[in-house]
Structure 1
Amino acid sequence: MLKTPTLIKISGSCSLLVLLLAFSSCSTTQKAAGEKGWVSLFNGKNTKDWIVKIFHHEVGDNYGNTFRVEDGMIKVRYDQYDKFNNRYGHLYYKQPFSHYHLVVEYRFADEWRKDAPSYTQLNSGVMFHSQDPRTMPKEQDWPISVEMQFLAGLGDGKPRPTGNMCSPGTDVIFQGKKDPRHCIESSSKTYGKDEWVRAELIVLGDSLITHIIDGEKVLQYSKPQIGGGVANGYDPNIKVDGKLLKEGYIALQSEGQPIDFRKVEILNLEGLSPKSPLYNRYFAPEIPIK
């Protein structure tokens, strides 16, 4: 198991730089957005506000009804597939975000497709700071993005934390330096297959990012940027290595393991007023991040 990262209280502080990043480009519209409170990105009825992109398929083609809404949940299923054929899929919310607090509640369900790669068993996630799916060629496998990875235990008694960070086509700064690993483990406990898990992301543009699992901060890193490997088939004009990611799309993942999402909510922090009671929680400095 990887070394547990040192965590910094989000109620403490980022640096003055975070404040400058947060407010340097605020418009009147953005300020209003920051005061709306929690908003559900999933309406409980359909995915009309979402965009599908599945590897080997054009954007908008929901092959095999992969992403569907049943019982008030977004469900990822493969019962209409003839074979998996590495059809990694993502369901993107229609607009990008920069500074926000995201909540996703998920549970793994049904049986993993045995013709999917072995690492995908009880494995899914939510992508963020992602490229626009409409910029992805048909044969691009993974979006250039950062992933909050979801895992469950395999029943072998070995720890398998959830809320990890993976980086298709990206890099991050972890514990003061650019980390070469594709995935960085969190300090969360191991969850069982059928447990509902509450996963939260606090994203402050291209500065501090915090992962929270069931109320516990489990991972922090900073400066998400384009770079690294893993993503393939992309438009080379999109992959500008070293470019900091200030914003991007949020997407629910499909990679061979059925999963249910019952909640996807966001608190938009873009242009949050210093007079807001939420301001100190997210932006008042105490301990600068390196």
Structure 2
Amino acid sequence: TPFSNYIIRVEYRFTGEQCAGGPGWAFRNSGIMVHGQTPESMTKDQDFPVSIEVQLLGGKGEGERTTANLCTPGTHVVMDGKLVKRHCTNSTSKTYHGDQWVTVEVEVRGSKLIRHKVNGETVMEYTEPQLDDADADAKKLIKDGVVLLTGGSISLQSESHPVEFRKVELMRLED
């Protein structure tokens, strides 16, 4: 069943050391994938599901590194009235160093609105999530020319660094 209108809230933290050989970009990197393609529609060698990713990042001990960012494997969104085609966009969150628990909430209203919150504070909003017709994996999912995403699967991601989820809560919303 595709999910369309809901709030997903997770409490997460990064622990331990990144696994040997993990790429630098994957350090303290996890995510909540929403409006995702079905698992059975993925190919064996596909890097990521076509989805809207709420990227969860942990601090590196110094410097700034926002969390609840937006990454768009095979997708685009509209932000401030403009189509955003870059792969990742940083949120306005603060940096969370160490192994502290962080609460991230994502409000999803079909294609009308996706809102990211960190510890209760809104850090990003956008609309019109859509398939990227130039992406090989996304192109296979376009039916009758419709690219707008109104729903999909939900998944949690771990790149190569241990991440713990203490709570995962899902509340369906009325259409």
TM bucket normalised to smaller = over 0.9
2:108 alignment counterpart: 203
Task: Work out the CA distance in 2 between the residues paired with 1:270 and 1:245.
Answer: 17
Q: Percent identity?
A: 45
2:9 alignment counterpart: 103
1:183 alignment counterpart: 88
1:128 alignment counterpart: 34
Q: 1:235 to 1:152 in 2, by over 3 A?
A: closer
User: Secondary structure in 2 aligned to 1:243?
Assistant: coil
User: Secondary structure in 1 aligned to 2:40?
Assistant: helix
Q: More strand per residue: 1 or 2?
A: 2
- Letter aligned with residue 72 of structure 2: S
Q: Does 1:142 align with 2:45?
A: no
Task: Work out the CA distance in 2 between the residues paired with 1:144 and 1:239.
Answer: 11
1:164 to 53, 56, 69: 69
Give the superposition deviation at 1:253: 0.2
Q: Please tell me whether the aligned partners of residues 53 and 71 of structure 2 are also in contact (alpha carbons under 8 angstroms).
A: yes
2:153 to 249, 255, 269: 249
2:172 alignment counterpart: 268
Task: Work out the CA distance in 1 between the residues paired with 2:124 and 2:65.
Answer: 15
1:258 alignment counterpart: 162
Task: Work out the CA distance in 2 between the residues paired with 1:248 and 1:228.
Answer: 17
Moved over 2 A (4+): 234-237, 239-242
Two-structure CA RMSD over aligned residues (Å): 1.8
Look at both structures and tell me which one has the larger radius of gyration over its CA atoms. 1
Task: Work out the CA distance in 2 between the residues paired with 1:154 and 1:239.
Answer: 39
Q: 1:115 to 1:221 in 2, by over 3 A?
A: same
- Letter aligned with residue 120 of structure 2: G
Q: Please tell me whether the aligned partners of residues 109 and 258 of structure 1 are also in contact (alpha carbons under 8 angstroms).
A: yes
1:152 alignment counterpart: 58
- Letter aligned with residue 124 of structure 1: S
User: Secondary structure in 1 aligned to 2:166?
Assistant: strand
Give the superposition deviation at 1:236: 4.6
- Letter aligned with residue 55 of structure 2: Q
Q: Please tell me whether the aligned partners of residues 136 and 235 of structure 1 are also in contact (alpha carbons under 8 angstroms).
A: no
Q: Please tell me whether the aligned partners of residues 207 and 222 of structure 1 are also in contact (alpha carbons under 8 angstroms).
A: yes
Give the superposition deviation at 1:180: 2.2
Q: Please tell me whether the aligned partners of residues 223 and 245 of structure 1 are also in contact (alpha carbons under 8 angstroms).
A: yes
Q: 1:172 to 1:194 in 2, by over 3 A?
A: same
- Letter aligned with residue 270 of structure 1: E
1:238 alignment counterpart: 141
Gaps of 5+ in 2: none
- Letter aligned with residue 121 of structure 1: F
Gaps of 5+ in 1: 1-94, 272-290
Specify which structure has the bigger relative contact order, considering alpha-carbon pairs within 8 angstroms and separated by 6 or more residues.
2
TM-score by length of 2: 0.92
Give the superposition deviation at 1:223: 0.4
Task: Work out the CA distance in 2 between the residues paired with 1:130 and 1:181.
Answer: 18
Q: 1:235 to 1:188 in 2, by over 3 A?
A: closer
Q: 1:266 to 1:166 in 2, by over 3 A?
A: same
Q: How does 1:59-98 map to 2 (within 5 A)?
A: 95-98=1-4
- Letter aligned with residue 269 of structure 1: L
TM-score by length of 1: 0.57
